[in-house]
Amino acid sequence: MKSCLALIPFLFTMPALAVEHQTIDLWPGGAPGPANTKGQERDITEPSDRLVAGRPLMHLTDVSVPNLTVYLAPTAKATGAAVVVFPGGGYRILAYDLEGTEICDWLNGIGITAVLVKYRVPQPQDAATRFKEPLQDAQRAVGIVRHHAKEWGIDGARIGVLGFSAGGHLCAVLSNHSEERTYERVDESDAENCRPDFVVLVYPAYLSEENKGTQVAPEARPSANRTPPTFIVQAQDDKSYIDGTLLYYRAVTDAQIPAELHVYPAGGHGYGLRATGDPVSGWPRLVEAWLQDRKLLNGKG
């Protein structure tokens, strides 16, 4: 009896085993194009920055060595589906935990392998150029995931993308620019199709031309023969971006692409998965139902 009791303090104080995630540099020989960074990669979060659900969020910037981190779905839950995750941050920073690591943990919980992309920021803020290098990173990332599909237990026909804010814009651009790579081929991963099989856009930004809400941004215009099925969630009081979201949804449906849009009256922008008290916080359940309805979570591929 004594020996059993002696184990109790150890069991309660033993730290949980950390799950190791594989990280791969996107560009083994260095990323193409000019570097826009001004120093070492770092988190520039300040105590005065806003909190989300009472907690701070990372503001990762000066990313010059983009990479992807693989969160394999637990074997017992794995469905064979995968989602490549793109955090937002206005192409200036990456909200790497709020719209990245926390999202990957949720996806693992519903049996999806998540792949978190740390793409290059900051970028020039000109509307015509701010997505150019991130698009290279996005195309490369999806190609790498598809190339490693068998190794990672993924169905190569069920690889989607999910993006927040600027990351949502990036996913929309990728959805409509997958036919040709925007960089010189590096290796076999670039021979893979980089078109996502489905797209989830959460409070996407920059989807209207010059944010004026009259036309879809030219780099994101949908097409019937290339844009994948799309799920979008937005809050009505996200004043800067709601018009672009509505325009994009209309363009997607005009192109006869299967799409689902959920607009909530309140919620603002930049809430991620965190419970803020607004009904918009329920969006993950709607995404899961949409994936189930499209038979993207059925079987291991």
CA distance 125 to 106: 31
Check if the beta carbon of residue 95 is closer than 8 Å to that of residue 118. Answer: no
What confidence score (pLDDT) does residue 2 get? 39
Using CB atoms within 10 A of its CB, is residue 107 exposed (0-12), middle (13-18) or buried (19+)? buried
Q: Enter the DSSP assignment of 55.
A: B
Question: Both tokens of residue 152?
Answer: 């990672």
pLDDT of residue 167: 98
> Rounded to an integer, what distance in angstroms lies between the CA atom of residue 226 and that of residue 221?
10
Q: Do the beta carbons of residue 36 and residue 120 sit within 8 Å?
A: yes
Residue 141 has a CB neighbour count (10 Å cut-off) of 27
Element (H, E) at 3: helix 2-13
- Looking at the domain assignment, is residue 13 inside a domain? no
Distance CA(89)–CA(76), nearest Å, equals 34
Q: Is residue 40 part of a domain?
A: no
**Looking at beta carbons, which pairs linking 210-213 to residues 24 or more positions away fall under 8 Å?**
210/127, 211/240, 211/241, 211/244, 212/243, 213/243, 213/244, 213/247
Q: Is 109 left (phi over 0), alpha (psi -120 to 50) or beta?
A: alpha
**Does residue 31 lie in a domain region?**
no
CATH of the domain at 243: 3.40.50.1820
pLDDT at 213: 75
Residue 34 lies in a domain: no
What's the whole-model pTM score? 0.92
Enter the DSSP assignment of 296: S
pLDDT score recorded for residue 299 = 66
Give the structural domain span for 265: 45-293
- What does each of the 301 residues of the chain score in pLDDT, given as a tens digit? 333 434 333 333 334 445 689 999 999 999 998 888 889 999 999 999 999 999 999 999 999 999 999 999 999 999 999 999 999 999 999 999 999 999 999 999 999 999 999 999 999 989 889 999 999 999 999 999 999 999 999 999 999 999 999 999 999 999 999 999 999 999 999 999 999 999 999 999 999 997 777 899 999 999 999 999 999 999 999 999 999 999 999 999 999 999 999 999 999 999 999 999 999 999 999 999 999 999 999 865 4
Structurally, the chain folds into a number of domains equal to: 1
Q: Per the domain annotation, does 11 fall within a domain?
A: no
Give pLDDT, residue 13.
Answer: 38
Mapped onto helix, strand or coil, the DSSP state of residue 70 is strand
Would you state the pLDDT for residue 3?
A: 39
Residue 281 lies in a domain: yes
pLDDT, position 35: 83
Distance CA 281, CA 172 (A): 22
Domain annotation covers residue 14: no
Q: Is residue 61 part of a domain?
A: yes
Is the separation of the CB atoms in 199 and 160 below 8 Å? yes
- Rounded to whole angstroms, how far apart are CA atoms 230 and 161? 10
User: Closest by alpha carbon to 280, among 292, 298, 262, 293?
Assistant: 262
Q: Is 76 exposed, middle or buried (0-12, 13-18, 19+ CB in 10 A)?
A: exposed
What is the torsional sign of CA 72, 60, 238, 267? positive
